[in-house]
Amino acid sequence: MPSPTPVPPRDRADTPWRSEGAPPAPPPRKRMPGGWRGLILTALIVYLIANVVLSFFNEGDEPVVSYTEFSKQVAAGNVSKIYSKGDAIQGELKSAQPLPDGKGDYTKFTTQRPAFADDQLWANLTQHNVTVTASPVVVQRSFLANLLLSLAPMLLLVLLWVVIARRMGSGMGGMGALGRKAPPKPVELAGAKRTTFEDVAGIDEVEGELNDVVDFLKNPGQYRRMGARMPRGVLLSGPPGTGKTLLARAVAGEAGVPFFSASASEFIEMIVGVGASRVRELFAEARKVAPAIIFIDEIDTIGRARGAGAGVGGHDEREQTLNQILTEMDGFSGAEGVIVLAATNRADVLDPALTRPGRFDRTVVVSPPDRDGRAAILRIHTRDIPLAPDVDLTRVARTTPGMTGAELANLANEAALLAVKRRRDQVTPADLSEALEKIQLGAERSLVMPDEERRRTAYHESGHALLGMLRPGADPVRKITIVPRGRALGVTLSAPDADRYAYTEDYLRGRIIGALGGMAAEHVVYDVITTGSESDLEQVTGIARGMAGRWGMSERVGRLTAIPSDGQSPYGLAAAPATLDAVDHEMRRIVDECYEEACRVLREHRPQLDALAEALLAHETLDEKAAYAAAGITRLEK
């Protein structure tokens, strides 16, 4: 089929139409707040009111008196001067006289001489020395003066209008009366150092996926000659802290294109339609500087599958915003040259229309780094931290399986804080080790325990550690302590030598046996069960439930998944009641077998258990080497 005609970008994002081959529309004119029509109407109303008020005051300055009263004042010699134009007479008295209605006095007045009057007015005026002036006694304001005075309130109103509109705009963070928000600007400042792939480590396979996007942005002509089109969007999916936002910025920095960043929650407002308008403005700004990258963080906020929990009729603000994103990412939107990167922790809940090819063409899973990746990440985050010569970041990476880039950055920062607190010039291995313990185990508590409870805690932790040392294939014991940390009275830290990605049934049973070691030790030594095993039992329950209900490690339940991965089903029961009863029965069987095995091993190795507990009571904390030496077990390095 012939290649489609390129659609010119729209200069305005709110126009409901698209054109092909038409010249770009002129930029929209700036509109006054409220519109010119409202402003003109208000000005006319103010003008009329001002004229009425001014005419009222003008009339009240010179009262109208009867011609009879005027004649009396002339006869009494109380008139000082007059001015006449036709039959209208203006005058001024020598001394004030009360008004006929009794409401005050007057000195200046106006009157009207009747046409039939024949009272020798001129003779009377001359007789009483009344001055007849050539200019009005009361000077009226000109039309221009009245116009300026009437326009003054209107100008004041316009000025007040503009000031209030500007303050509302700045006070609402660039939002107008309907919540419209100013479109986001590129986050990189001019001249600032851009984030590149040199600032990203530990996820080489993800970089390979995104390098295609970078190359396309740098060399679009080569791909167009081969008939390849630019991907519409790339979805970054992975646990929190794995560096999805950093990857998006690195892609824009490597390609040297503008980068627009926004959180999905920023599009949602109470007023329906505001989110859609913001999406239009965002894509319009990006198209003006295309090629460009738009990054939407936590897209599952607005991208959830439609129909679940929607408003009445499904016409709520979230769905309108999602529909606008779908439209902008469509092939008919004129969004060529704009690539959308989005990040989410819940890719499984996104709407299928959002993740189909043509919108988000690729889904890149950003997983926690492996051992080599963790070492590279630690080297990046310690570039500005002075390290002691004996610091081995590879060894630190080996003891931090499963940690994400954000957690490793926090580890380096916590170690630096400890070094500053201890007045050191460099970060030592002890600082890194203590920082890791603080992150994984919690901060130390100053808790004074009775000797009997302290001894019981030592046997509890020794039970965990000894079973971990004796069980083949179990994770090596890294540290044992009976110093209270967080909510625990003691902690046993175990970590594998290498990252594990799949677990065997034997390994999982060893995890359960090790977790039950504390309770088994208290049972073997004291024949009691305490509440100190609560967290251990939670861990045991989770592993046993997975073995019986999710991973097919039970002959009675069979090779099926009876329990969802999140532990709950949106439709009530995840399986038939009989199947769930079988899962419960198998969980109990697995845990009971492991507990019996733990008690048997501890009884057989009681001298080693006692020796390890006594070493803990004497030193409170044992590292890996000291723990294996106290138990008399040789640690085989892998």
Residue 231 · residue 358 · CB < 8 Å: no
Please give the single-letter amino acid code of residue 298: E
**What separation in angstroms does the CA of 171 have from each of 181, 184, 203, 232?**
12, 17, 42, 36
pLDDT of residue 47: 65
Helices 534-549 and 517-526 pack at an angle, to 10 degrees, of 130
Computed from CA positions of residues 159, 162, 166, 167, in that sequence, does the dihedral angle turn out positive or negative?
positive
- CB count within 10 Å of CB 575 equals 18
Q: Which residue has the tokens 């009483």?
A: 128
At residue 412, what is the residue type?
A
Q: Give CA–CA dist 218/531, Å, rounded.
A: 62
pLDDT for 179 equals 45
**Does residue 291 have a cis peptide bond before it, meaning omega lies within 30 degrees of 0?**
yes
20 is catalytic: no
Domains 63-132 and 451-631 share a fold: no
Write phi, then psi, for 475 (nearest 5 degrees): -65, 135
Beta bridge partners of 90: 83, 110
Give helix 317-329 / helix 274-288 axis angle, nearest 10°.
20
- Domain spans, the chain: 63-132, 197-365, 371-441, 451-631
Q: Please give the Cα distance from 294 to 262 (Å, whole number).
A: 8
One-letter amino acid of 456: R
**What is the spatial distance between Cα 622 and Cα 480, in angstroms, rounded to a whole number?**
5
Of 407, 327, 401, 320, the closest CA to residue 359 belongs to 327
Three state DSSP letters for 583-606: HHHHHHHHHHHHHHHHHHHHHHCH
Enclosing H/E stretch for 108: strand 105-112
* 557, 587 Cβ separation under 8 angstroms: no
State the fold for domain 451-631. Methane Monooxygenase Hydroxylase; Chain G, domain 1 (1.20.58)
In whole angstroms, what is the distance from residue 247 CA to residue 345 CA?
A: 15
Give residue 588's pLDDT. 92
Looking at domain 371-441, which of 3.40.50.970, 1.20.120.530, 1.10.8.60, 3.40.50.10860 is its CATH number?
1.10.8.60
Listed in sequence order, the DSSP H helices in 399-516 are 405-421, 429-441, 451-470, 505-515
105: which 2 tokens? 């006095």
Annotated binding site for ATP: 238-245
- Rounded CA-CA distance 557/586 in Å is 8
Amino acid symbol at 409? A
Q: Spell out, as residue ranges, where the chain has pLDDT lower than 50.
A: 1-25, 32, 59-60, 171-183, 185, 188-190, 309-315, 334-335, 567, 569-572, 638
CATH of segment(s) 197-365: 3.40.50.300
Model confidence pLDDT, tens digit, residues 38-57: 666 766 776 667 666 655 55
Three-class SS of residue 44?
Answer: helix
Instruction: Please name the CATH architecture into which domain 63-132 falls.
Output: 2-Layer Sandwich (3.30)
Q: What is the dihedral of CA 596, 597, 598, 600, to 10 degrees?
A: 90
Q: Global pTM?
A: 0.63
Residue 38 and residue 23 in contact, taking contact as beta carbons nearer than 8 Å: no
What is d(CA 418, CA 68) in angstroms, rounded to the nearest whole number? 106
Query: What type of residue is 35?
Result: G
pLDDT in the model for residue 39: 61
- 442 contacts 487 by C-beta, under 8 angstroms: yes
Residues tagged in the binding site annotation: 238-245, 460, 464, 536
pLDDT tens per residue, range 186-224: 554 445 667 777 777 777 777 777 887 888 877 777 877
Catalytic residue among 281, 461, 522, 597: 461
Q: Using CA atoms, how far apart are residues 419 and 412, in angstroms rounded to an integer?
A: 11
| pLDDT value at residue 501 | 76
The answer to whether the bond into 183 is cis (omega within 30° of 0) is no
Strand order in the sheet with 105-112: 105-112, 88-98, 79-85, 131-132
Please report, in angstroms and rounded to a whole number, the separation of the first and last CA atoms in the chain: 60
- Are the beta carbons of 253 and 200 closer than 8 angstroms? no
180-to-16, 169, 262, 460, 637 alpha-carbon distances in Å: 18, 10, 15, 61, 63
Give the residues across from 112 on adjacent strands.
Answer: 88
Contact 180, 33 (CB under 8 A): no
Torsions phi, psi of 524, nearest 5?
A: -70, -40
